[in-house]
Amino acid sequence: MKLCIHGAVFFLVLSTTLSAPAGFAAPAAADSPDLRDVEQAHQLAEAGKSDEALKLLDAVTVRNPAFGPAYFHRGMILLRANELDRSLSNFNKALEMDAKFTQAYLGRAMVYFIKRDLDATIRDLNKALALDSQLAVAYYNRGIAYSYQEAFGKAFDDLSMAKKFGYPVEAELLEQVWGLGHTDSVVAEASAKILQNPADGPAYYNRAVARYYRKEYSTALEDLNQAKKLGVEVEDAFLQELESVNSKSPAVPGPA
């Protein structure tokens, strides 16, 4: 489960995904039969004709077994179809043909992410960034992977780098990740707001989430119930998880 800040209130994020490699596009210069066929396959895939695209790419790999772009594009089509093992095999083949195929590392990282192998995801994104230190989508994807590892400081740094190099990272997402990486600051700020206004529901909610990540489950549940009483919309899943954790674990008191 992931919790993030939305404006002044944390909320559940259950569907964060990696972004596709920007290189999943037709070759810039179709100056050979292989490149022309890969370009045509790309166009077919974009038109929703994945089976035809795969047949065309199959023909390319039969004709030229060492042509890495055909394996890469086949990997992306299969990834979109959620055929993860076949997709992974094709990305591996593309990298076997060219160990510096940056986009294939991005594609393979996406497969690993879906498989929830976060360490492998990050390793491949590290390799992509070693080849191109300004690759914005690689920083973005690594930031998302770090957030799933709850390494929010690293996630914030990577998302900031992605924005620096032109990836459209929303300010709200940066705020979310920063808050999760600085729970002490969130608790202190929320506590100050509650002292000024005991009816500040969002402050209770934010403090509940920060305390959740500090494993202060008892006080987190108290804050969450208070936020709900004050009219803040509370996700049932979050409330149920806190109630479940509290029933199984000894309370860890936190500072007010």
**How far apart, in whole angstroms, are the C-alpha atoms of residue 56 and residue 74?**
10
Domain edges within the chain: 182-248
Residue 193's pLDDT is 94
For residue 4, what are the β-bridge partners? Answer: 11
Residue 176's pLDDT is 83
Residue 180's pLDDT is 86
List the chain pLDDT tens, one digit each, 256 residues: 334 433 333 333 323 456 766 544 444 445 688 888 888 888 888 889 989 999 999 999 999 999 999 999 999 999 999 999 999 999 999 999 999 999 999 999 999 999 999 999 999 999 999 999 999 999 999 999 999 898 999 999 999 999 999 999 988 888 888 888 888 998 999 999 999 999 999 999 989 989 988 889 999 999 999 999 999 998 888 889 899 988 876 544 444 4
Strands (DSSP E) found in the chain: 2-6, 9-13
φ and ψ at 167, to 5 degrees? -80, 140
Asked if 64 and 36 count as a contact pair (C-beta separation under 8 A), the reply is: no
Residue 201's pLDDT is 94
Residue 236's pLDDT is 87
- How many alpha carbons lie under 13 Å from residue 220 in its C-beta half-sphere? 26
Q: In CATH terms, is domain 182-248 a member of 1.10.10?
A: no
pTM of structure: 0.78
φ and ψ at 93, to 5 degrees? -65, -40
φ and ψ at 86, to 5 degrees? -65, -40
Residue 42's pLDDT is 87
Q: How far is CA 68 from the centre of its chain?
A: 26
- Smallest CA-to-CA distance from 202 within 4, 7, 9, 3 is with 9
Residue 144's pLDDT is 92
The Cα angle at residue 184 between residues 182 and 186, in degrees rounded to 5: 70
